[in-house]
Amino acid sequence: MPMTFAEPSSVALPIVLVSPDACEDTLSSLPDEQAEWAAFHDFKGQIGRALVLPGPSAVLIGTGTERDRARKRFAIGAAIAALPEATYKIDALPDGQAEEIALGFLLSRYRFDRYRAQSGPKARLVAPDGVDATRLESIAAAEALTRDLINTPAEDMGPDALEAAVRDLAVAFGAEMRTIEGAALLEQNFPLIHTVGRAAATAPRLIEVTWGSEGPTLTLVGKGVCFDTGGLNLKPGASMGIMKKDMGGAANVLGLARMIMDSGRKVQLRVLIPAVENNVAGNAFRPGDIYTARNGLSVEINNTDAEGRLVLADALAFASEAAPDLLICMATLTGAARVAVGPDIAPFYTDDETLAAALSAAGARIADPVWRLPFHDAYEPMIEPGIADLDNAPSGGMAGSITAALFLRRFAPVPRFAHIDIYGWQRANAPARPKGGVGQGIRALFDALPEVL
């Protein structure tokens, strides 16, 4: 279903946005019949509440209070998308809400229909005045790409299929692409990527995309574990059920890359995706094994279910060799991040104060919540097992997201590095965010880029 706005139309039905404190005045300005209709339906400007006035002559949609909007982001846009089939327009938008309302409408049009036909919203919205319609449509398309990749089960989204999806994106925007696969990973010094993926039926690989020939250098690294059984430290069934989403970091950096390429921004973009499946076979890597990463650090494996940081280690080391101006890593990395901040918020780590401030402000501004957690140096000894340089899964169960971030930082010796520990999954239907795969942090990153690069 196209996630686009309607063409301007003289017959578009007007939408009147009504806040609770202005509701009485708005209703008193209506003809008596319509005011009585609104009163009969108990319309009081509740957030996301839509009421078609008789005629139909207009639609009232409640904007709720500021607190309501913070608790139910995109609710107004979702209410517009749920209206009866017609073309609609908004004549006046509240200050600071225009983009969220318009984007909420677009995102509410998303349907994952690869395996079952689904009817979507029939309402059409003319792009409101004051918003960059082309930019919002591009963001919505990038979010749809991210959701589609995550929602696709591993049978159809293994490392080879993920590579094909990346190739489609590269071709669409004239980007260059190469893949290092199977035994070639060992020959070209990507030992940890090979180790994690060697037990799967589909060979592990490192996918690289480059785009743009001028401007600052930006490298995006995304965890592409297409399915995570936990390896020999096998996950229980309840934990394995949505592990098709463990390539959510890859899906998110591809969504962000699409936004950047579609914007035509002058930047030298590089995307690296270690694509593997963490599976069980006679050649699976084992707890207690020690491997040497691309950058020469030895890593003791104390849990094969902490595999994401291993494949990212080689990719980050490779990325750092080119000394990019900014290096960003995204991964569905730890359950500890969910314990700390829940499924909605994407915690991020960086030592760069300018980047931290810009990303935090952008997340709040555009309803893409992120929260900074610390690279706490005092925890460094927790990732040093003694028998090797690093431990991939420190015992004790404390500060799991922080110690994972510290582990990754050892492979990213560049001045400007950020790691985002996303969930990538919407657990229940919410406005503009149906249950399933979801983008996290990429709109905030895209919005912050002009300030930091």
Task: Give the catalytic positions in this structure.
Answer: 235, 309
Angle between helices 248-263 and 442-452 (to 10 degrees): 50
3-state secondary structure of 293: coil
Tell which residue, 244, 314, 228, 245, has the closest CA to residue 273.
314
3-state secondary structure of 55: coil
Report the C-alpha gap between 97 and 92 in whole angstroms. Answer: 11
Q: Please, which residues have CB within 8 angstroms of residue 240's CB and are 6 or more apart in sequence? A: 228, 229, 230
Residue with structure tokens 């993920």?
A: 162
Cβ burial 300-321 (10 Å sphere, 16+ → b, else e): bbbbbbbbbbbbbbbbbbbbbe
The two tokens of residue 60 are 């009232």
Cβ atoms 169, 254 nearer than 8 A: yes
E strand or H helix at 219: strand 217-222
Residue with structure tokens 């003809």?
A: 31
* 328 CB-side CA count, 13 A: 30
- The DSSP string of 357-396 is HHHHHHHHHTT--EEE----GGGGGGG--SSSSEESS-TT
The helix, strand and coil proportions of the chain, stated in percent and rounded to the nearest 5, come to 40, 20, 40
The two tokens of residue 408 are 């990754």
Q: Please, which residues have CB within 8 angstroms of residue 71's CB and are 6 or more apart in sequence? A: none
Q: What is the dihedral of CA 253, 400, 359, 77, to 10 degrees?
A: 70
Interstrand relation of 13-18 and 87-90 (parallel, antiparallel or unpaired)? parallel
The two tokens of residue 391 are 């431990």
Q: What is the CA radius of gyration of the chain?
A: 24
Give the N- to C-terminal CA distance of the chain in Å, as an integer. Answer: 34
Tell which residue, 254, 253, 260, has the closest CA to residue 168.
254
E strand or H helix at 16: strand 13-18
